[in-house]
């Protein structure tokens, strides 16, 4: 479970970095550098999501289901959301590499950062529910 915590931190850091860059807006005169930075931040987010998804696929979610079978639908929902977010990140990266981004770029990227943040919070809540509630911990 420790490795998953590291991935959550990586996801959080990558999301915060991306959000910070988006909040500055694309400068009119130096958009090339800003776009390279955006691509780099999005790549960091992609790698963090891939690592987190791989770790979860190798036991964390299965362990949660084993401890708390009632959480199976929440686990399935998180797995599906992880896959959708990863697809969206990949699509954004492809779009950045193949064409000049349109005016909705910042809005769609901000929504993506929000979804990633929500995923991270939901994963923490799921683990807490499995370990705290079903093992009789404080609550």
Mean pLDDT for the chain overall:
81
**Is 138 part of any domain?**
no
- Domain CATH for 98: 1.20.120
Domains identified in the chain, total number: 1
**Is 139 part of any domain?**
no
Average pLDDT over residues 118-129: 87
**Is 99 part of any domain?**
yes
Cα 6 to Cα 13, 89, 94, 99: the distances in Å are 10, 20, 27, 34
Tell me, what's the pLDDT at 30? 62
Identify which has the larger pLDDT, 55 or 79: 79
**Is 80 part of any domain?**
yes
**Domain span at residue 122?**
2-133
Tens of pLDDT, residue by residue over 16-66, are 898 898 888 777 776 788 888 988 999 999 888 888 777 676 678 888 888
99 pLDDT tier (thresholds 50, 70, 90): low
88 pLDDT tier (thresholds 50, 70, 90): very high
| DSSP 8-class letter at 134 | T
Q: How many separate helices (H) and strands (E) can be counted in the chain?
A: 5, 0
**Is 52 part of any domain?**
yes
**Residue 77: CB partners within 8 Å, gap ≥ 6?**
none
**Is 110 part of any domain?**
yes
pTM of the shown model: 0.78
């Amino acid at each position: 479970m420790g490795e998953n915590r590291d991935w959550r931190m990586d996801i959080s850091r990558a999301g915060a970095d991306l959000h910070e860059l988006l909040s500055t807006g694309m400068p009119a005169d130096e958009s090339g550098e800003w776009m390279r930075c955006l691509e780099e931040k999005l790549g960091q987010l992609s790698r963090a999501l891939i690592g987190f998804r791989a770790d979860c696929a190798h036991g964390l979610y299965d362990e949660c289901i084993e401890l708390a079978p009632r959480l199976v639908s929440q686990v399935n929902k998180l797995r599906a959301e992880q896959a959708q977010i990863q697809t969206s990140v990949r699509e954004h990266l492809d779009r950045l590499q193949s064409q000049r981004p349109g005016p909705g770029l910042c809005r769609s990227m901000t929504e993506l950062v929000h979804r990633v943040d929500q995923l991270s919070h939901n994963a923490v809540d799921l683990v807490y529910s499995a370990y705290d509630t079903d093992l009789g911990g404080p609550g």
